[in-house]
């Protein structure tokens, strides 16, 4: 039975820390990772458009085998706000084959996890898989660097090249 990781987040933008985490998950026995950009953040977090974030996820992950990674837009079809328990249920309902699911979380969320909506559903359907932050990178830091940089700056250490080009072309995070 395949082991599937459901990795949700804002991905505002996706960066090399996210990609390193996904690579680590494969080394830890996951067969496939479903990346789920948040459509409507339950805490009202300010995000750039959903379409831009989905496109950047696809560009940032296009080097991985398609049977191992999926960027899911399922949250755009679910009622707002985007609760993880609803997303997990919808992913499992759509699945063609029976799999073992885990929800991927960073340890930075562990303290607030018991406050989440539907934690019993999450634990039952796709138990949490807690990951350490592999790098010091965060989307907040990346956005700040992009905002205060000149257009010609090179961010190849923190952003995949295609994502950096997309951000520049679409004038994001100014």
Q: CATH no. for residue 30?
A: 3.40.50.620
For 4, residues 6+ apart whose C-beta sits below 8 A from its C-beta are 30, 31, 32, 33, 34, 99, 100, 101, 102
On whether residue 154 sits in a domain, the answer given is: no
Residue 21 structural domain: 3-135
On whether residue 169 sits in a domain, the answer given is: no
Query: What's the mean pLDDT in 61-75?
Result: 94
Beta-sheet strands, E only, within the chain: 3-9, 32-37, 69-71, 100-106, 128-131
On whether residue 174 sits in a domain, the answer given is: no
Q: Which residues pair with 106 in a beta bridge?
A: 131
On whether residue 32 sits in a domain, the answer given is: yes
On whether residue 85 sits in a domain, the answer given is: yes
As a whole number of Å, the end-to-end CA separation of the chain is 45
Q: How many domains does the chain divide into?
A: 1
Residue closest to 31 by CA, chosen among 100, 131, 111: 100
- What is the spatial distance between Cα 125 and Cα 71, in angstroms, rounded to a whole number? 20
On whether residue 29 sits in a domain, the answer given is: yes
Q: What is the pLDDT of residues 80-95, one digit of tens each?
A: 888 999 999 999 999 9
Query: At 18, phi and psi to the nearest 5?
Result: -65, -45
pLDDT interval class at 152 (50, 70, 90): low
Q: State the chain's mean pLDDT as an integer.
A: 90
Residue closest to 10 by CA, chosen among 125, 90, 132, 106: 106
User: Looking at the whole model, is its pTM more than 0.85?
Assistant: yes
pLDDT interval class at 130 (50, 70, 90): very high
For 32, residues 6+ apart whose C-beta sits below 8 A from its C-beta are 2, 3, 4, 5, 67, 68, 69, 70
On whether residue 19 sits in a domain, the answer given is: yes
pLDDT interval class at 103 (50, 70, 90): very high
Q: Is the pLDDT of residue 110 over 80?
A: no
| Residue 126: both structure tokens together | 């796709």
Query: What's the mean pLDDT in 121-143?
Result: 88
On whether residue 73 sits in a domain, the answer given is: yes
Query: What's the mean pLDDT in 112-119?
Result: 83
- What is the spatial distance between Cα 53 and Cα 45, in angstroms, rounded to a whole number? 14
Residue closest to 105 by CA, chosen among 48, 21, 39: 21
């Amino acid at each position: 039975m395949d082991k599937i990781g459901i990795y949700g987040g804002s991905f505002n933008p996706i960066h090399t820390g996210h990609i390193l985490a996904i690579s680590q998950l494969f080394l830890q026995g996951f067969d496939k990772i479903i990346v789920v950009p948040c459509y409507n953040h339950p805490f009202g977090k300010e995000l750039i458009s959903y379409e831009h974030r989905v496109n950047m996820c696809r560009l940032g992950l296009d080097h991985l085998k398609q049977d191992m990674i999926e960027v899911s837009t399922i949250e755009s079809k679910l009622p707002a706000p985007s609760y993880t328990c609803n997303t997990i249920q919808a992913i499992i309902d759509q699945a063609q084959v029976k799999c073992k699911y885990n929800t991927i979380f960073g340890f930075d969320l562990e303290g607030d996890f018991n406050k989440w909506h539907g934690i019993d559903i999450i634990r039952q359907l796709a138990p949490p898989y807690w990951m350490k932050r592999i790098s010091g990178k965060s989307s907040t830091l990346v956005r700040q660097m992009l905002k205060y940089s000149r257009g010609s700056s090179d961010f190849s250490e923190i952003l995949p090249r295609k994502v950096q080009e997309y951000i520049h072309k679409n004038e994001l995070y100014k």
